[in-house]
Structure 1
Amino acid sequence: IFEGLLPEGLNIYATTASNAEESSWGTYCPGEDLSPPSEYETCLGDLYSVSWMEDSDKHNLQTESLHQQYELVKKRTAGSGLGSGSHVMEFGDVGLSKEKLVLYMGTNPANENYTFVDENSLKMPSRFTNQRDADLVHFWDKYRKAPEGSARKLEAQKQVLEAMSHRLHVDNSVMLIWKILFGMSEGPAVLNRVRPSGKPLVDDWDCLKTLVRAFERHCGSLSQYGIKHMRSIANICNAGIQVEQMEEAAIQACPTIPTGPWSSLHRRFSA
């Protein structure tokens, strides 16, 4: 979100849960070693945001700096490095990270005698959930706990199947559009292209908004899951494709819009 867009000199310091190429991860999810109470049936937070909030709860914010917290949160959010976890990033005026947390968050008198130690005292979960799968975790936990043959179990099963069907439709539609626009061999390469560090996601943000809406008019909502394809749509803009070409490709790829709730545009366009 800040890549290539937040230069130094604006007196702004920002951190993000992940780098420009990956998703963040949920934690305190059903089935994990640190699960929420059984009645919640959902992930309670994002590993990144949970980490800085828990760190703030434990430490003396009058002595801990933004940079010290950043390093602890970065280490915890990276996970085991075995395919789970993400890379916390910082942008803008990094020099501001020398300042103490108390300037921005206040302090907790109960922690004022805490002596900061440069190590991670936060418990590391043994397993995380990709944020893009958090809705499936919710529906699957409902299904798993519902009594056999009950209306609740049937409804949860329906929700799981609808969500999976929508994901398949979005992925297949995006891939087909790319092949129509760029050909069988070039499509996947354009789809996954990552711009050099320091360059923004897209050169023309109005183009990105226009192409997203062209897709959704003919193929249905991207939904939260489909946001993962936003880079691919940005790559279409960067390749110089016009909205008329996108409209025609979307019409060919999506003769009809699925009737499921996930494809509905009742929540308006995604961009």
Structure 2
Amino acid sequence: MKMTVRVLALLTALSAVTVSADHWAVLVAGSYSWSNYRHQAGICHAYHVLHDHGIPDDHIVVMMYDDIAYNDLNPTPGIIINQPGGPNVYEDIVKDYTGRDVTPEVFFKVLTGDQAGVAGIGSGKVIRSGPGDHVFINMVDHGNTGFFSFPNGIMFADDLLNVITNMHENNQYREMVMYMESCESGSMFDGIYPDNIGFYAATASDPKESSYSCYYDDSRNTYIGDLFGCCWMENSDERDLTTMTLGEQHLIISECNNESHTPWYGQPSMQDEVVGAFLGKGNEKQRKSPTGWHSKEDTVPSVDVPLFILRNKLKKASEDEKVALQAEINGLFKKREFVQETTLNIATLATGDQELAEYYLDNPMRKVSDWTCYKRAVKAFNDKCFHFGENTFAIKMTPTLLNLCENSFGIDNILRRIQEVCKFGFVTGIE
């Protein structure tokens, strides 16, 4: 009898912790430009998922460049949609950090509650989570092995790990869930995270795969959704989040996100937590899509979105327009060849062996052990050769730099070769 009383008391105490837990969320779109429309559309949609499930605005931090809603290319100024015929997800959106304030440094300060660190920046809002609280993070952009790109800056996996483990040690959360959408996003967590710090992540792709985009919009001439993001958000719009577990939602997302794998990382027991513990348990203002679940048969690899945008334009163009569009497509391939040739030149000089350099270019390495070398090489490639925010295709070249680091060609040697090759000045528009 005494044992039963003790068990009941323990369950009651645990239940009280869960019920009284605050919900906090940070939503990040790490890109800009019209061709990346889908990233900000997804973050705006994510905001409404959380808001409509009862998480108050002062507990949600949104970081987005904010150059889409009133972009000159937007046929519906002030309106952003994330699915065909869907609602305006830009309506009533919270915008805490925009433009040049969307950086890894600001993100880390927001996540760790560093109020002084963001003084005078954006809204100055941070999350103030404590030992009983649940934190949800959604990040959407381009990425590659071991990093996630921001409009200005690069977030590396080891830095993210350090921030989260420090938060755990400082009792700044009870449990944390992260949904990350980018190419090779699994590399941000694979083999890195312990399984006992109350952390769980699901990603749009494994460490070696592209993520995928969907919903090409003819009137906007761009893709308005990302496959992984639309899968979890449309599911969350339609389901009762107080009964569906993270594990159950992951199975649904995995089936929907069928162009790439959808791995999860972290603490296995968290798959038994209900989704509502992180996305909110309210239902009063939930607004479901008027058009329901959509077929996602027009998916394309995220890196090839600019190419498929041009090809879609070409299909409906007049004969005169087709000439100019084909020239644009040819130009896109030439720009990409320039990036590849530049990378090959760097690798050839660093190794002294063109055949080996070609092998590294064609056989990207995906596991980082020498973080110091890799981070310095990637930053130098971004700063001296092709700024990733302006030249997203260049992100694909970074595993070649990883090959150089992991095969002991030396960071000083690599940096010298980057300096020697990249003397062509500031380059933009290589997508």
Classify the TM-score, shorter chain. 0.7 to 0.9
- Distance, in Å, in 2 between the alignment partners of 1:138 and 1:154 is 16
Q: What letter is aligned with 1:75?
A: E
- Distance, in Å, in 1 between the alignment partners of 2:383 and 2:229 is 34
* Secondary structure of residue in 1 paired with 2:429: helix
Instruction: Identify the residue that residue 396 of structure 2 maps to in structure 1.
Output: 228
- Work out whether residues 220 and 257 of structure 1, in 8 Å CA contact, stay in contact via their aligned partners in 2: no
Instruction: Identify the residue that residue 136 of structure 1 maps to in structure 2.
Output: 307
* Secondary structure of residue in 1 paired with 2:264: strand
Give the superposition deviation at 1:166: 2.1
* Cα separation, partners in 2 of 1:103 and 1:214, compared to 1, 3 Å: closer
- Work out whether residues 314 and 326 of structure 2, in 8 Å CA contact, stay in contact via their aligned partners in 1: yes
* Cα separation, partners in 2 of 1:188 and 1:158, compared to 1, 3 Å: closer
1:18-167 mapped onto 2 (5 Å cutoff): 18-29=205-216, 36=217, 38-77=218-257, 79=258, 85-106=259-280, 107-108=282-283, 124-142=295-313, 145=316, 149=320, 160-167=329-336
* Cα separation, partners in 2 of 1:148 and 1:142, compared to 1, 3 Å: same
- Work out whether residues 25 and 47 of structure 1, in 8 Å CA contact, stay in contact via their aligned partners in 2: yes
- Work out whether residues 387 and 427 of structure 2, in 8 Å CA contact, stay in contact via their aligned partners in 1: no
Aligned residues: 234
* Secondary structure of residue in 2 paired with 1:13: strand
User: What per-residue deviation string (whole Å, max 9, x for no partner) do you get for residues 146-192 of structure 1?
Assistant: 66657xx8886665454333211112222333333332443344442
1:168-207 mapped onto 2 (5 Å cutoff): 168-182=337-351, 183-191=353-361, 192-194=363-365, 201-207=367-373
- Distance, in Å, in 2 between the alignment partners of 1:62 and 1:23 is 32
Q: What letter is aligned with 1:99?
A: E
- Distance, in Å, in 1 between the alignment partners of 2:382 and 2:401 is 12
- Work out whether residues 179 and 186 of structure 1, in 8 Å CA contact, stay in contact via their aligned partners in 2: yes
Q: TM-score, normalised by structure 2?
A: 0.48
Is residue 215 of structure 1 aligned with residue 385 of structure 2? no
RMSD after superposition: 3.2
Structure 2 unmatched runs, 5+: 1-187, 287-291
Give the superposition deviation at 1:228: 1.7
* Secondary structure of residue in 1 paired with 2:242: coil
- Distance, in Å, in 2 between the alignment partners of 1:220 and 1:49 is 28
User: What per-residue deviation string (whole Å, max 9, x for no partner) do you get for residues 77-129 of structure 1?
Assistant: 1x3xxxxx111110111210111111111243599xxxxxxxxx955533311
With CA pairs under 8 Å and 6+ residues apart, which has the higher RCO, 1 or 2?
1
- Work out whether residues 18 and 86 of structure 1, in 8 Å CA contact, stay in contact via their aligned partners in 2: yes
Give the superposition deviation at 1:213: 3.8
* Secondary structure of residue in 2 paired with 1:261: coil
Q: TM-score, normalised by structure 1?
A: 0.72
Instruction: Identify the residue that residue 148 of structure 2 maps to in structure 1.
Output: none
- Work out whether residues 214 and 246 of structure 1, in 8 Å CA contact, stay in contact via their aligned partners in 2: no
Q: What letter is aligned with 1:108?
A: N
Give the superposition deviation at 1:244: 3.2
- Work out whether residues 8 and 92 of structure 1, in 8 Å CA contact, stay in contact via their aligned partners in 2: yes
- Distance, in Å, in 2 between the alignment partners of 1:110 and 1:213 is 44
- Distance, in Å, in 2 between the alignment partners of 1:86 and 1:245 is 36
- Distance, in Å, in 1 between the alignment partners of 2:243 and 2:222 is 35
* Cα separation, partners in 2 of 1:213 and 1:105, compared to 1, 3 Å: closer
Give the superposition deviation at 1:5: 2.3
Give the superposition deviation at 1:251: 5.5
Deviates more, 1:141-150 or 1:178-187: 141-150
Q: Percent identity?
A: 25
Give the superposition deviation at 1:71: 0.8
Structure 1 unmatched runs, 5+: 30-35, 80-84, 112-120, 196-200, 264-271
